[in-house]
Amino acid sequence: MREVKKAVIPVAGFGTRFLPATKSTPKEMLPIIDKPIIHYIVEEAIKSGIETIIFVTGRHKRAIEDYFDYYPELESILLKNGKKELVESLREISNMAEFVYVRQKEQLGLGHAVLTAKHIVGDEPFAVLLGDELIINDKQPAIGQLISAYYKFGKSVIGTMEVSKEDVSKYGIVAGKSITEGIKLVDYMVEKPKPEEAPSTSAIIGRYVLTPTIFEELEKTPLGKGGELQLTDAMVNLLKKEAIYSKDIEGIRHDTGNKLGYLKAIIDFALMSEDIKEDIKELILKKCKEING
Ligand code: UTP
């Protein structure tokens, strides 16, 4: 069985929920304290054995390329000021993986973004991580959990989490036969169903391991909901040819693509950060008192 060594991270979306900030700053570059969201996602992939990161970017996303590149002018100033360790930590960011960039010329949806990476992925299984979903698990990263399941079943594995009935219309929803604890053999999938039409409350949450057969399906799949090429629609077609599994991901998930999710992530990370956690606790308690009068 081929190993999963490549990850596609689609980051070409406009991030309209964060305008005006995202007019010139990619939403994936918004910081969680002092590290951009995308840095955590790349770390998750690397810790899971990924060696090549394929970013699907757009013309407004150059800051991501710069972030994962060397910055010699800054480095020489830092070195002159005796900050060798800082220079090394910046270089580490660029050396984490092999980074490849491919442009999605039109923002035609997640499925289209994944298809844009076809020629770089080639004929091997690959991971997909959405650039605005943070999932924290110190024991085994989210995408690592799916890669382990892929090695067991040899078929595509979709990351899922249970959501409330009212929230199903925000997600792709899967249903199927339970195989073992947290793993299903998928028999049905639908993108953003109405609550009364949803087959389950098992939601797709931005992590996938896919076999390369998905590209054939993406090429044939017409534009779906919102005039976008939906990855879920292509997976529905893939299901007619190949088994697909879903795995409940263990970890704390933050959807940093919306304002509240982003703020919650910052608070959670601040409460885990050795240097500011005591101060932030004090601040939160003070605010609670003020709010409650
Ligand atoms: P979203 O729909 O959450 O991101 O897509 P968006 O379009 O950037 O955000 P809003 O809804 O306008 O605020 C999920 C992921 O897929 C990428 C996005 O960058 C995001 O990481 N994406 C989406 C693409 O790469 N290309 C697309 O055409 C659409």
Confidence band, pLDDT 50/70/90 cuts, at residue 181: confident
Local structure of residue 115 (DSSP, 8 states)? H
Taking residues 29-42, report their average pLDDT: 95
Cβ–ligand 1 contact at 231 (below 6 Å)? no
Query: Domain 6-257, what architecture?
Result: Alpha-Beta Complex (3.90)
Q: Is 57 in the pocket of ligand 1 (CB under 6 A)?
A: no
> Which residue from 107, 112, 232 has its CB within 8 A of the most atoms of ligand 1, so it is best to mutate?
107
Q: What is the pLDDT of residues 205-228, one digit of tens each?
A: 999 999 999 999 999 999 988 899
Asked whether the predicted pLDDT for residue 283 surpasses 90, the reply is: yes
Residue type, 70: Y
Q: What is the best residue among 28, 130, 230, 259 to mutate for testing ligand 1's pocket, by most ligand atoms within 8 Å of CB?
A: 130
User: Which protein residue has the closest C-alpha to ligand 1 atom 27?
Assistant: 109
pLDDT in tens, 80-94: 999 999 999 999 999
292 has a pLDDT exceeding 90: no
Q: What's the whole-number average pLDDT of the chain?
A: 94
Share of the chain above pLDDT 70, in %: 100
Query: Band of the pLDDT at 59, cuts 50, 70, 90?
Result: confident
Ligand 1 atom 9: residue of nearest CA: 15
Mean per-residue pLDDT, 180-203: 93
Q: How far apart are CA 259 and CA 247, in angstroms?
A: 27
- The domain limits of the chain are 6-257
pLDDT mean over 188-206: 93
The whole-model pTM stands at 0.94
pLDDT band for position 29 (cuts 50, 70, 90) = very high
Cβ(257)–Cβ(132) below 8 Å: yes
Banded pLDDT at 60 (limits 50, 70, 90): confident
**DSSP states of 195-253:** GGG-S-SEEEEEEEEE-THHHHHHHHPPP-GGGS--HHHHHHHHTTTS-EEEEEPPSEE
The predicted-structure confidence for 91-106, as pLDDT tens digits, reads as follows 999 999 999 999 999 9
Q: What is the pLDDT of residue 73?
A: 92
In angstroms, the first-to-last Cα distance of the chain is 62
pLDDT at 90: 92
The single-letter DSSP state of residue 3 is -
Cβ atoms of 113 and 67 closer than 8 Å: no
Is the pLDDT at 55 greater than 90? The verdict is: yes
pLDDT in tens, 227-249: 999 999 999 999 999 999 999 99
**Ligand 1, atom 29, residue with closest C-alpha:** 109
